[in-house]
Amino acid sequence: MEENKKNNEATIQQTTSVISAANRWDHFLARVGVKRMRHLVEPGLYSIGNPTPESPVLVSANYTLSFDALRSHLANFDGYILVLDTKGVNVWCAAGEGTFGTDELVHRIETTNLKDMVTHRSLILPQLGAPGVAAHEVKKRSGFKVEYGPVRAADLPQYLKTGLATPEMRQVRFTLPDRLELIPVELVGLSPVILILALLRSYGLVAAVLAGVILFPILLPWIPTKNFCTKGFILGGLTALPFAISALTRHPDASPWLRAGWALDYFLLMPSITAYITLNFTGSTTFTSRSGVRREIFTYVPAIAGMFVVGLILNIAFIFIR
């Protein structure tokens, strides 16, 4: 019995609420998309502070930004963090993919011998993990009751003190700082495309890409319509407008039909590029659903592809016309 207890204790790793310089460097690399799927911690059971068998158990993904956001708000906290193997994906996305899910949670409870670590049978999960977890199945298969904590880790100290989540704690927000955090990884990922387009002097297309990557997350709440693609078409059209006006006026000696064709080309290529990029942001927000994203993809991607192909054909044709 004593040997089993020692083996169980050996499976617990120690962590703290302190975020080191190395952690912050890891966060920076994750934000800019360097080694995107390598920012993870080892799944398992972690102790923080000086927990007792009565201490609470919090559940996290093994994405370093998720794990560190959780522990950084647990100063003067004594308890456990049960880290699921989400393949280095954050809680909300992993819940959608199924890795932050019922099977993995039950499996992790069993492999860490959690029943032997604590006397209670309660787990506190992040609210955004709810889509992936069937609480009744977890209870049936493991004996542990699932509770959902607040959306933001910053609210955990108050939640742990009172055991209650206020309506404010349950509200999912997507503020400007949240949206600005999305820009670096998208910008770095598309930087080769931007560089190639700049070398080809396709400045309109560069503007279309930058509009989708930078302007869209900033202006998201204020662009009319609900769908991301239609928002992208609007933003891309507004970005194309000065280029189209320039095409109409830059060469007054050219045929009116040719100038109109140049202007039309901008209105075909640029909105289609911006809309395609904005569609990618559906996976970065907390107010989209898988069914809604799927419906938007099937509805608008054919239009995006059609506009781009027609615009590209016109662009190639104008090379020979010139």
Band of the pLDDT at 50, cuts 50, 70, 90?
Answer: very high
Band of the pLDDT at 322, cuts 50, 70, 90?
Answer: low
- Does the structure show a pLDDT above 90 at 318? no
CATH architecture for the domain at 2-172: 3-Layer(aba) Sandwich (3.40)
Rounded distance between C-alpha atoms, residue 105 and residue 52, angstroms: 22
- Does the structure show a pLDDT above 80 at 109? yes
Rounded distance between C-alpha atoms, residue 153 and residue 57, angstroms: 14
Where along the chain do its domains lie? 2-172, 177-321
Average pLDDT, the chain: 90
Q: Where are the alpha helices (DSSP H) in 182-289?
A: 183-189, 191-199, 203-210, 216-219, 228-249, 256-280
Model pLDDT for residues 287-317, shown as the tens digit of each residue = 676 677 788 888 999 999 999 999 999 888 8
Least confident of 49-53, 84-88, 203-207, 311-315: 311-315
**Chain center to CA of 144:** 29
Model pLDDT for residues 222-269, shown as the tens digit of each residue = 999 888 999 999 999 999 999 999 999 988 888 888 889 999 999 999
Question: What is the reported pLDDT for 6?
Answer: 42
Rounded distance between C-alpha atoms, residue 217 and residue 7, angstroms: 49
Nearest to 157 by CA among 317, 48, 294, 7: 48
CA angle 153, 154, 155 (to 5 degrees): 90
Band of the pLDDT at 1, cuts 50, 70, 90?
Answer: very low
Q: Count Cβ neighbours within 10 Å for each residue of 46-57 and write b for 16 or more, e otherwise.
A: bbbbebeeebbb
- Answer for the pair 82, 103: CB distance below 8 angstroms, yes or no: no
